[in-house]
Amino acid sequence: MLDDRKLAVLRAIVEDYVSTHEPVGSKALVDRHNLGVSPATIRNDMAVLEEQGYIAQPHTSAGRVPTDKGYRLFVDRLSTIKPLSGAERRAIETFLANAYDLDDVVSRTVRLLAQLTRQVAVVQYPSLTRSSVRHVELVPIASERLLLVVITNTGRVEQRAIETHEPVSDEAIAHLRALLNARLDGCWLTDVPDALADLPEQVSADERALATTVLSVLLESLVEKHEEKIIIGGAANLARADLSQSLRDVLEALEEQVVLMRLLGEVGDPSSLTVRIGTENPHESLRTTSVVATGYGAGDQAVARLGVLGPTRMDYPGTMGAVRAVARYVGQILAGS
């Protein structure tokens, strides 16, 4: 267990290395930080930190750099996450509030995270299985064709064309639309099959074929063919990172949706922030990078995750603050959409 002084030395080494991108020596610590001890004491503390694996010497006669273990202790002992300025918060709110649909919200969120953190931004679309129905619409687009539109509480819109194979009256469409909304308003998508199981029996014989067809398409759209979707942005930011792992390997790993899902982790408490550092990442090609991720959603219900990926030498307090703030604003937008 490190005492407070050695923790302060480690914190100073991390902050200087992130800022300067250069190994940190004892003289630099004395010059830049008011640690209240002699250079000899700092050298002794650095020797202990190196012996215990928190810092390393990349070259003979060079200063020290943090290891994954050092970064982990630094993150775990953070007393505060760097707050965004009032101007930054207002800019985020304005930028995201101007989004006109879910695709635009996600697209803006990716761009915003990449710009704020100068890392690679990763955003998962709200999962249909963690969403509820807000509204169902049936729109006739031809004499034997309808458009089924389902809007979820997360702002997601699913559309499917339905071939009825015979003309359908406006009255039958209106009746079925009313039934669907009465049963599905606020219903979790995982509960839709049970909520509509007896729907064909609740309509007249003339409307039964239509109800059966619509029900089939609805279940196929929302339940049977559900796929997770993730988008990334700011990959060019990796060009500025001094990654010991091949940049090409990192970019190839980021193209795999399964890898991205594992990086973001399971959706849970939207207030929890996950930080994976270096070798803690599950994919070998990404073990020179760090990931900061959190859940987002309407209210206390997380429906997806977002985060950033960058070199282990990142501004953890600032990155964690930006990721948490953006997730909070996205959740507010979804709750009000």
CATH 3.30.390.60 assigned to 129-224: yes
At residue 116 the predicted structure's pLDDT band, cuts being 50, 70 and 90, is very high
| Closest to 88 measured CA to CA, from 328, 333, 304, 306 | 328
Tens of pLDDT, residue by residue over 279-330, are 998 888 888 899 999 988 766 677 789 999 999 999 999 999 999 999 999 9
The 3-state secondary structure of 86-144, one letter per residue? HHHHHHHHHHHHCCCCHHHHHHHHHHHHHHHHCCEEEEECCCHHHCEEEEEEEEEEECC
More confident residue, 221 or 215: 215
How far is it, in rounded angstroms, from Cα 217 to Cα 195?
Answer: 15
Q: Which amino acid is at 276?
A: R
Checking if the pLDDT of 254 tops 80, the result is yes
Q: Kindly give, in sequence order, each residue whose CB lies less than 8 Å from that of residue 118, ignoring residues fewer than 6 positions away.
A: 234, 237, 240, 310
Checking if the pLDDT of 225 tops 50, the result is no
CATH of domain 4-76: 1.10.10.10
CATH 3.30.450.40 assigned to 86-127+228-336: yes
At residue 82 the predicted structure's pLDDT band, cuts being 50, 70 and 90, is confident
Residue ranges per structural domain of the chain = 4-76, 86-127+228-336, 129-224
Q: Which amino acid is at 223?
A: V
pLDDT of residue 269: 64
